[in-house]
Amino acid sequence: MSKIERDKLLVAVVLILVVSMDMLNTSMLASLLPRIPNVIPFLGVRFLYFKEYSLTFLIFAPLLFLVGCMIYFKTGTLNASMFIFLIIVLYKVEYESVLKLYAGLGLFFVLLIVFLSAIDIIPNLQFVQYRSTGIVVRNSFGFIYPTDFASHCFYIYMVISYLYRNKFIFQRTFSGLALAGFVTHFCDARLNAGSILAATGIFLYFYYRKHIKLFLKPMNWEKMFVSIELYTNVSIKSYSHKLVNMSIFRAGGSSAMG
């Protein structure tokens, strides 16, 4: 097995464990699972394969590492710090492959947890809150809290929209609007719903901006304006000739009658 294949296998295994545990730890299955130690540091082995590093990496990697350490010392937990370290150790990894892996695993676990909640294997915790509009029931669909479910929906929608940023614009836009409405109605997760709507609008804007540029790029604006000017001049001259001919015809007709 080559170094590249070993590197890809190592990244895939670690990411599968990280994403799976992150999804499950926010669900009602967390209490049933054994505690698995954090495996992100194992990705540090990847640096044995690299002999050259970019200047950008050499500048920002120590800064990110410092930020991760500060978060750990301030909070006492490694959750946020480990994901910052994950950004560092994923150096020279194809990020689209990482996103595809996350989208596939995330969608699978969300559907699995919602299904287990629907058949009452795990509870669907419901939180009753008072709003200005009245009493609101917030469903968690098998997750620990409604915003956990809504956040996963937002992240998965963002990743899928990015991966298919050049395709399925109508389907993605409709899905975003429907998903925002769903998490608002059933979870009352208004911040997540607003984020989904904002993401939908942003992807819609960039999709059409790119395609409008592609449509207009081949056009030679100078030739187009010259053509319009010539057409306008010809049209005006033609119309002027018609007026002159009509005037001559009328003048001739009047003299004949006289």
**Model-level pTM?**
0.71
160 and 210 in a common domain: yes
Summarised one tens digit per residue, pLDDT across range 44-64 is: 655 556 666 777 777 887 888
SS3 at position 130:
strand
114 and 44 in a common domain: yes
In a domain, residue 75? The reply is no
In a domain, residue 60? The reply is no
154: nearest Cα among 182, 131, 129: 182
Domain that holds residue 128: 3-50+92-215
Burial 212-247 (b: 16+ CB within 10 A, else e): eeeeeeeeeeeeeeeeeeeeeeeeeeeeeeeeeeee
Pairing of strands 126-131, 134-139: antiparallel
Summarised one tens digit per residue, pLDDT across range 160-218 is: 999 998 888 899 999 999 999 999 999 988 999 999 999 999 988 888 886 666 555 55
In a domain, residue 222? The reply is no
C-alpha triplet 207, 208, 211: angle, nearest 5° = 90
151 and 238 in a common domain: no
146 and 203 in a common domain: yes
Backbone angles phi, psi at 19, to 5 degrees: -65, -40
Residue 222 has a pLDDT of: 47
119 and 34 in a common domain: yes
133 and 238 in a common domain: no
Determine contact, residues 106/156, Cβ cutoff 8 Å. Answer: yes
